[in-house]
Structure 1
């Protein structure tokens, strides 16, 4: 049973406020947007497919969103906010650990997050490139935040180290996106230890966390 089905309101009378009803409908639509695109992609997913999954009317959809693109933008913001919150938690909890442990925990949180919600992962890593310039700008902003995480994790201080972190984050993004596009979630974990080993062997290239 899908997440959107689980969130449908009970039939008949209920004691929910209008705000709670609207919030539930909106959440179901956002989840349904991601789920529908796993089958048809952004371009091939009509609003009708989202409505069917979410269990809401067309009128309700357009009361909440101006268009499919507007709905996608909201779904992207929802997915990226959940991702950012998970990373922030693990970064905070790992602040006093050594570089290897910190990198391991952050990558584990990242890959676990993608595996836990593959529809959202496909939405903000794959389908975003079909959703227009605004969506791509949002994706680049998310990538920039990931670069900041990588730079802090690896102790990047110089302009050269920060540039190196940008290239590393881009490489991680490319490899992860390719695996999500191929529905190959299991092999995500194969690259985690290799990335940590790469950072360790690179000395101070990416930052001072692994410097001799």
Structure 2
């Protein structure tokens, strides 16, 4: 399964310049995610990226200096998608535990945009030192988001204990490893079946006594 890169409407449309630019930049980032995780970064060419994104070569240079900048910024795009879609500071649906609700949103995003799973869960060292550093920064951002989410939920549920950045990072690492193993062993369609097990793992790490 692959990300869907929708082109802008042909001919006249009602999109603002800002909307057009946002669409073009996002398609380029998604193309870099797809291709970088499908083929590896080293053999990736600028022609590959613009062809997959469906934009002109000149358009690429309006947003990025080179393919490396595009690929590295794709990591920030991945982190932003997780933070916006999964760790949004909002109450879970009534009758649903917070952990199960957020794990469900994560798995939904993974199925919709499997390239993000590959990017965040890939063996970063194989991508090169710059990408490895950016991947670590992504996991730090997600861990920080998890700490903030826990603090947000504690406003209504004081029984929840706060969590440290280290514990949040351990949770991110555990989820990442399970997603990576399942993705490469069984394929994208197996991810939704992980909800109960992932929730159990996250709950165990969240509620463990402090050191």
After TM superposition, list the pairs within 5 Å mapping 1:11-30 onto structure 2: 11=11, 19-30=18-29
Q: How many residues align?
A: 200
Q: 1:183 to 1:64 in 2, by over 3 A?
A: farther
Number of the residue aligned with 2:102:
106
Identify if the C-alpha distance between structure 1 residues 60 and 93 changes in structure 2 by more than 3 Å, giving closer, same or farther: same
Indicate whether 1:140 and 2:143 are aligned: no
Is the 1:35–1:119 contact (alpha carbons within 8 Å) kept by the matching residues of 2? yes
Q: 1:93 aligns with which of 91, 97, 114?
A: 91
| TM-score for both structures, normalised by structure 2 | 0.72
The answer for unaligned runs of 5 or more in structure 2 is 154-158
State the structure with more CA Rg: 1
Residues 83 and 182 of structure 1: CA distance in aligned 2, closer, same or farther (over 3 Å): same
1:132-171 counterparts in 2 under 5 A?
132-148=128-144, 149=146, 152=150, 155-157=160-162, 163-171=166-174
The question of 1:173 aligning with 2:176 is answered yes
- Matches of 2:29 and 2:204 in 1, distance apart? 42
Q: Deviations over 1:1-57 (max 9, x none)?
A: 9633x324515x667665554443323222222233353232232221112122223
Q: Is contact 2:139–2:169 with CA below 8 Å preserved after alignment?
A: no
TM-superposed deviation, 1:62: 2.4
Quick one: structure 1 residues 77 and 205, their matched pair in 2 at CA, closer, same or farther if it must change by over 3 Å? same
Number of the residue aligned with 1:55:
54
Q: Any runs of at least 4 consecutive aligned residues in structure 1 with deviations exceeding 6 A, and if so which?
A: none
> Quick one: structure 1 residues 9 and 206, their matched pair in 2 at CA, closer, same or farther if it must change by over 3 Å?
farther
1:65 and 2:68 are equivalent in the alignment:
no
Where relative contact order (Cα < 8 A, 6+ residues apart) is larger, the structure is 2
Residue 117 of structure 2 corresponds to residue 121 of structure 1: yes
